[in-house]
A and B are shown apart, each in its own frame.
Chain A
């Protein structure tokens, strides 16, 4: 059974602090890893698609790294702002094109 785990489940961060959280996935048959942001009362929004071991992606203050050999990806947020409050979802796709989603990390930025 393929399993994608995200940790922590929730996270409170002071505004201005930097933070990071983890997506763990099977290290075999890797095809792609997606990160999405899901704000309350809105639709999930794509952040990154990562396909190669060692990939690093950046979008403003948010960046992500990928280690396919050990099966994890980190999402980093630098200088957290209130608008960063959301649930961050990762989705793992294997080489059979089966897509498995994590339960998400809920990030709350405290002013």
Chain B
């Protein structure tokens, strides 16, 4: 049984470029989360998907950030016109959701994408 996978594992980009980060959740997991961790900070919630819809986009830091999920599976996080403050590790997690956001469900994390904006 494959776990959560993310690609690329590392991404170095120039300021102003767009980047796409991909997450493949565990098969059958309906809930998918995106987080980021900047240096020395805790995990920052970005967005949550239940199926293909995103009931909670409250964590997206600006309109340069967007995410979509297709087929109830793969999700893509897109950052447009990247800035240096976007440099962070971006983590994806999935969970078998009982309909209650996280609750006591265990989140299964991917290995993350380390984004460096020069």
Contacts and interface: CB of A to CB of B under 8 A. Distances in A.
Interface stretch (B37-45, B64-72, B78-86): B37-45
Given A103-B40, A103-B42, A104-B42, A43 B102 contact: no
A42 B104 contact: no
Prevailing SS type, chain B contact patch? loop
A91 B101 CA distance: 14
B43 A89 contact: yes
A44 B91 contact: yes
Nearest to B41: A103
B2 interface: no
A46 B100 contact: no
Contacts of B106: 46, 49
A97 B102 contact: yes
Interface string B39-73: 01111110000000000000000000000000000
A41 B112 CA distance: 9
A31 B103 CA distance: 8
A4 B93 CA distance: 20
Given A93-B102, A97-B100, A46 B107 contact: yes
Interface residues of A, number: 23
Nearest to A38: B109
B3 A51 contact: no
A101 B42 contact: yes
B41 A44 contact: no
A43 B103 contact: no
A33 B103 CA distance: 9
Interface in B5-42: 35, 40-42
Interface of B: 3-4, 35, 40-45, 91, 93, 100-104, 106-112
10 contacts: A43-B91, A46-B107, A51-B104, A91-B43, A93-B102, A93-B103, A97-B101, A97-B103, A101-B45, A103-B42
The 5 closest A-B pairs by CB, nearest first: A101-B43, A103-B42, A43-B109, A46-B106, A101-B42
Interface of A: 4, 31-32, 34, 36, 41-46, 49, 51, 89, 91, 93, 97, 99-104
